[in-house]
C-alpha cells in the first residue's frame, strides 16, 4: 500500500489551505465554501495550533447560538489535532482516522504541515489498491 507522501504527490491541489486563529469564523466559512473543502488547518505563523471543520461550526457555533462574525476560530477550533508523517502508510492513517472518528489528517514534517488528507482520499486509495489486487489474483488464477 502507498505512503501518505505518495498520495500527497498525486493530489491535484497541493496547497495547504489555512487560517489564523484570531480570524472570525465567518472568514473560515468563506474559505471553506470557496475551496469546496470541509476543514481548514489553523496556523499561528508556521505552527499547527488546530483544525477548524464544518463539524466545529455546527457544534460550537450554530448549536450554541454564537455569531460567526464575532466568534474567533481559536474559540471553536479543535486544538488536539492528530497528525501523521509522509512515510506513514495509507492503512495506518485510515485506521487512525477511523479509530478517532476524524475526517481530516494533517501530514507534518518537522512541525510544518506539508499536506492534508481526507478520509475520502484514503478510502479512494484503498479501493483502488484492492481492485488492483483482485485483478492480479484473477489473472494468477486464470494462468
SS (H, E, C) 43-92: EECCEEEEEEEHHHHHHHHHCCCCCCCCCEHHHHCECCCCCECCCCEHHH
pLDDT of residue 11: 87
Tell me the pLDDT of the chain (143 aa) as tens digits.
Answer: 899 999 999 988 788 999 999 999 999 999 999 999 999 999 999 999 999 999 999 999 999 999 999 999 999 999 999 999 999 999 999 999 999 999 999 999 998 999 999 999 999 999 988 888 888 888 888 87
In the chain the domains, ranked by start, together with CATH numbers, are 4-142 (3.10.580.10)
Q: How far apart are CA 61 and CA 38, in angstroms?
A: 15
The whole-number pLDDT of residue 140 equals: 83
Q: How much is the pTM?
A: 0.88
Using DSSP bridges, classify how beta strands 104-109 and 112-118 pair: parallel, antiparallel or unpaired.
antiparallel
* 10 contacts 90 by C-beta, under 8 angstroms: no
Helix (H) or strand (E) holding 120: helix 119-142
Amino acid at each position: 500500500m502507498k505512503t501518505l507522501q505518495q498520495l500527497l504527490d498525486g493530489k491535484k491541489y497541493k496547497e495547504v489551505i489555512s487560517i489564523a486563529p484570531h480570524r472570525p469564523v465567518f472568514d473560515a466559512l468563506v474559505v471553506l465554501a470557496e475551496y469546496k473543502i470541509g476543514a481548514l488547518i489553523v496556523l499561528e505563523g508556521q505552527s499547527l495550533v488546530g483544525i477548524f471543520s464544518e463539524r466545529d461550526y455546527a457544534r460550537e457555533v450554530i448549536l450554541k447560538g454564537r455569531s460567526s462574525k464575532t466568534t474567533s476560530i481559536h474559540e471553536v477550533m479543535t486544538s488536539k489535532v492528530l497528525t501523521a508523517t509522509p512515510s506513514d502508510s495509507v492503512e495506518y492513517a485510515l485506521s487512525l482516522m477511523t479509530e478517532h472518528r476524524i475526517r481530516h489528517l494533517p501530514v507534518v514534517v518537522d512541525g510544518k504541515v506539508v499536506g492534508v488528507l481526507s478520509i475520502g482520499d484514503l478510502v479512494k486509495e484503498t479501493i483502488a489498491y484492492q481492485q488492483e489486487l483482485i485483478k492480479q489474483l484473477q489473472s494468477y488464477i486464470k494462468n
